[in-house]
Amino acid sequence: MAKKIKLKDTYRHRGLRLQLVKELKSKGIEDERILQAFMQVKRHYFLDPAFADWAYKDVAFPIDAGQTISQPYTVALQTDLLEVKKGDIILEVGTGSGFQACILAHMGAKVYTIERQRYLFEQTNNLLKEIGFAHIRTLYGDGYKGASRFAPFDKIIITAGATSIPQALIEQLKPGGIMVIPVGDGDVKSMVRIRKGKDGRLTKETHGYCRFVPLLEGKTGKKPKAVNKYVNLD
């Protein structure tokens, strides 16, 4: 992802977005608010201009700091599973490119998003301001610990693959809230939706399988050399 981009949105880009929306509908995404968000949030702004032709393909794509911008269908699915309501206070763990946070914000949520990579945090923070999403609250820190200062949250979304569910995130979820997290052993994770009852009890549902970059503890100020490309499974 480039540090500075020319904010151009052409008829071609809009046509490609329309094709992507049609593809998402064919895969079962029916919420018109999500589809409208995909029409309005320009995904090519989140990629280096040299790779703009990839922006509206339904695949994941590498960005900086060894991370990826998730497959559009996966972004739409996680958003759908969150059952977003206007005014929801949502914590996203794993800011990455910022695309998922923008989709949620476009739907009327108040978004807090936390990134462990200092390099990526600064880059994405600048991008969000440039493209009109400065109201998204970006945080630099350890996603495993969540953001207790701003808790509790109506919804929590984790955009990295976990081997277990961090207890701190469960504690920061409101009773009646929803968490969506890819979790499991190995490279392939189950997409899990967790509902927290008014009594604090948890119920879990699985919604298919996926691949993500790993959810790691701690935070780093260095830019990793390795770049991993993960493509989510249908």
**Does residue 200 lie in a domain region?**
yes
**Does residue 16 lie in a domain region?**
no
* CA distance linking residue 211 with residue 229, whole number of Å: 10
CB 92, CB 157: distance < 8 Å: yes
Alpha helix positions (H), the chain? 11-26, 32-40, 72-82, 99-106, 118-130, 167-172
Tell me: the pLDDT tens digits for 104-157?
Answer: 999 999 999 999 999 999 999 999 999 999 999 999 999 999 999 999 999 999
CB 46, CB 1: distance < 8 Å: yes
pLDDT at 228: 34
How many domains does the chain divide into? Answer: 1
CATH of the domain at 186: 3.40.50.150
Q: Which residue has the tokens 């969150």?
A: 82
**Does residue 196 lie in a domain region?**
yes
**Does residue 68 lie in a domain region?**
yes
CB atoms within 10 A of CB 227: 12
CA 221 centroid distance within chain = 21
**Does residue 232 lie in a domain region?**
no
**Does residue 45 lie in a domain region?**
no
**Does residue 96 lie in a domain region?**
yes
User: Could you tell me which of 64, 68, 93 has the C-alpha nearest to residue 224?
Assistant: 64
Active site residues: 70
Range of the domain at 157: 57-211
pLDDT at 231: 29
Tell me: the pLDDT tens digits for 65-112?
Answer: 667 788 999 999 999 999 999 999 999 999 999 999 999 999 999 999
**Does residue 63 lie in a domain region?**
yes
Quote the pTM value: 0.90
Does a cis peptide bond (omega within 30 degrees of 0) precede residue 72? no
CB 117, CB 219: distance < 8 Å: yes
Residues whose CB falls within 8 Å of the CB of residue 214, separated by 6 or more in sequence, listed in order: 160, 161, 162
